[in-house]
Structure 1
Amino acid sequence: MALVLVVNAGSSSIKTAVFDGGLNERLRIEAQGIGQTGALLLGDAPPVRLDLPDHQTAFRAILDGLRQKGISGADLTAAAHRVVHGGPNLAETTTITPAVRSAIAEAQPLAPLHNPHHLGAIDALAALLPDLPQVAAFDTGFHRSNPDVARRYALPDRAETAALRRYGFHGISYESLVQNFPQTTGADLPRRLLALHLGNGASLCAILERQSVATTMGFSPLGGLTMGTRAGEIDAGAVLHLVRDVGLEEAQTLLHHESGLLGLSNVTADMRQLAETDTTAARFAREHFCYWITRQAGSMIAAMNGIDGIAFTGGIGENDSEVREKVLANLSWAGNIPNWIIPAAEEKHIARQALALLKDPAHP
């Protein structure tokens, strides 16, 4: 039976899951602490401490873990990677060829915190299993259906601004939500659906007749809603002021890693911990999160010219009933809107797309 290794690589971790041809998850392995003394998590077993200086060493450990569970490299049909940014030209799930790899590399300036690590994983796996087909699924792809007026910033048409557009992210999550909605809910997908992917990274998507027509993230995953450690919506003038005051590198660190719920609460980026923390700052952080969800939801509803349903997904969206209730209460002006919880299934969706691609007669 076909086996697909789904890969989500970051700067210090590689999360993998093996799916069979029936899209059943067979095994989950995670390498943590890459670049230092790390650990391998094999299924539900306790972590095994390992020295993981780089991604290739981490993949060797993952492949060793697979072998311990009776899965060799030769048993794998493909490796399918989540790639955050496809740049201006890559949208559809595709086989990673030299040209595709080059395009992912060219998009690195657009996602400097993500794409370099995806490339590191692609290259490391290619070195270890050179005959294994590799596939890329892009988080920006689902939003390619946004109209130009939604995608373009009001900037002059110059070479230096050509790549500056609203790409949108969490596309794999939203596409999976659309795919799984009927089976999960027993209902037809609403014509005008407001989808909320709420986790450490958070965004909204206006889905009109199965297609994305607007989303809150823009040029980078930094924009839009208040998130775990990301600032979300902020005036470009404030960013320029911050860069002048503290420099580019420190400003980038502050906006990506020290802001959001963590910056507001000065305690944690974890919504569960904030819910248990009885301080004014912790309560304000949760209120800020809900306020900007509902404020930006208004613009998503306007982009669809109305709303027929709301779907929550992601760790917070699925598990924090207080947040859901607050958001729904804040949107009560729009009427009694049906709402659902759709469990996130991004990895399964990536496996589904990879298997469909490999079965395509046109596939090389």
Structure 2
Amino acid sequence: MTDAGPGMILTLNAGSSSLKFSVFEPGAEPRECAHGQVENIGGTAAELTLTEGTRKTRLGIGRAHHQSALQAILGQLAPLLKGRTIAGVGHRIVHGGTAHAAPEVLTPKVMAYLATLEPLAPLHQPHNLAAVRAAIAAFPGARQVGCFDTGFHRGHPWENDTFALPRRYYDKGVRRYGFHGLSYDYVSHELARTRPELAAGRVIIAHLGNGASMCALRNGNSIGSTMGFSALDGLPMGTRCGQLDPGVVLWLMQSEGMGAVEISNLLYRESGLKGLSGLSHDMRTLEAAGTPEAAQAIDYFVFRIRREIGAMTAILGGLDALVFCGGIGENSAMIRARLCEGMDWLGLTLDAAANEARAPEIGHGRVRVLVIPTDEERVIARAVNAALQVAG
């Protein structure tokens, strides 16, 4: 492939069975040229979707792992690249631990450290790193840049970071990390760009999707998060349990005879909306199901979020804005309505028509209520863009 101009930026967001990607033109503000994903990685019928402008392409690629999925992506991107190289690849890395917060080049030393964090994020970290290794093999001359989901929260007050365990465990890294940082980074910057008076105040961002969490921000800085040591804590999620009495884990070990692998599988993959409904992790399926179990799963999801809105408001000492993002937060008018119902005492009043219309602002009370679609890939692309400028 001949170099026909400045190199492009590729972003990768790898999960256990999917690989999302975007291609950006570098510049003062990177411009997205295409995006897509490979789904059902590890299965026998993986499918690649590529969207370029209004054109969408779907392609079956059979059995795939992360490296072969990346090769399939490159095959589809070749006409778009028109001979241009990939100068930088940006990766979403879920856990940066205590040592890594700001985006940085993924050296062998950094990769070795990140691999030690795999037990803290087993649904994501191993696959994030697998995508990095695949990208290094595909683009040996490109800069590989990691962007850490935990980084946004590293300025937390000590009391929000610690557990009431002997202090030596905190020193070993047993603390609240918080996650979904790339999403919070994007939304907080969008808020500062479009509504600076709100960004300077007390804001709760609710990132609600298959993974779900909430973040309390004061003047754009994270001071509290519902997620903790791992991505299990806090709100119930698609397949993850959310907050759980540690005694339940002891009971599972002592009374059910379950080991670490079985408990991990239960809490990460079989709980949450899927476990409660006995049907699905997908909120769209549950909303349409009409079964008592599906309704109860939604009830619990709403209850826990409303409870955390109160907790986050207490941390902030009041509330100026509530922002919804993520797949459920951006798309489910029903969930947004139920979360704000009866919250007039807090100054939270929803405009039903605006909510149904998915308007950018959907409240008419003292507390502003907004919907801001998140864009983690753009945050990653900006970090790679900055790294390329430094390198250049």
Note the C-alpha offset of 1:35: 3.0
Aligned to 1:215: 225
Partner residue in 2 for 1:39: 47
Work out the CA distance in 1 between the residues paired with 2:337 and 2:197: 21
1:26 to 33, 48, 52: 33
What are the equivalent positions in structure 2 for 1:91-240 lying under 5 Å apart?
91-158=101-168, 162-184=172-194, 188-240=198-250
2: CA distance between counterparts of 1:32 and 1:321? 27
Q: CA deviation at 1:326?
A: 1.7
Q: What's the counterpart of residue 345 of structure 1?
A: 375
* Cross-structure match for 1:12: 17
Say whether the 8 Å CA contact 1:155–1:161 is kept in structure 2.
Answer: no
Q: Secondary structure at the match of 2:154?
A: helix
Post-superposition shift, 1:183? Answer: 4.1
Do the aligned partners of residues 120 and 333 (structure 1) sit closer, same or farther apart at CA in structure 2, a change above 3 Å counting? same
Is the aligned partner of 1:299 residue 2:311?
Answer: yes
CA contact (8 A) 1:190 1:309 kept: no
Choose from 270, 275, 281 the match for 1:258. 270
Deviation of 1:321 (Å): 1.3
Q: Distance in 2 between matches of 1:281 and 1:2?
A: 51
SS at match of 2:113: helix
% identical aligned pairs: 40
Provide TM-score, normalisation by structure 2. Answer: 0.87
Residues paired across the two proteins, number: 361
Check the 8 A contact 2:101/2:148 in 1, yes or no. Answer: yes
CA distance in 1, matches of 2:334, 2:16: 32
CA deviation after TM superposition for structure 1 residue 84, in Å: 0.3
Gaps of 5+ in 1: none
Tell whether the 8 Å contact from 1:216 to 1:296 is kept in structure 2 after alignment. yes
Structure 2 CA distance for partners of 1:158 and 1:60, relative to 1, 3 Å: same
C-alpha deviation, 1:11, in angstroms: 2.2
Shift of 1:187: 5.8
Distance in 1 (CA, whole Å) between partners of 2:38 and 2:88 is 19
Residue of structure 2 equivalent to 1:289? 301
Query: Please, which runs of 5 or more residues in structure 2 have no aligned partner?
Result: 1-5, 348-365
Quote how far apart the aligned CAs of 1:357 are. 2.9
Q: Deviations along 1:242-285, whole A, 9 cap, x unmatched?
A: 23313322221111111111111112211122122222222221
1:3 maps onto 2:11 in alignment: no
* Farther off after superposition, 143-152 or 245-254: 245-254
Q: Tell me the SS of whatever aligns to 1:5.
A: strand
The root-mean-square deviation of aligned C-alpha atoms, in Å, is 2.0
Change (3 A) 1:133 1:52: farther
Normalization by structure 1: what TM-score? 0.93
- Paired residue type of 1:50: I
CA distance in 1, matches of 2:43, 2:173: 35
Say if 2:226 and 2:235, in contact at 8 Å, map to a contact too: yes
Range 118-127 or range 201-210, more displaced: 118-127
Cα deviations by residue, 1:188-229 (Å, 9 ceiling, x for unpaired): 424100110011111110001110000000011111011111
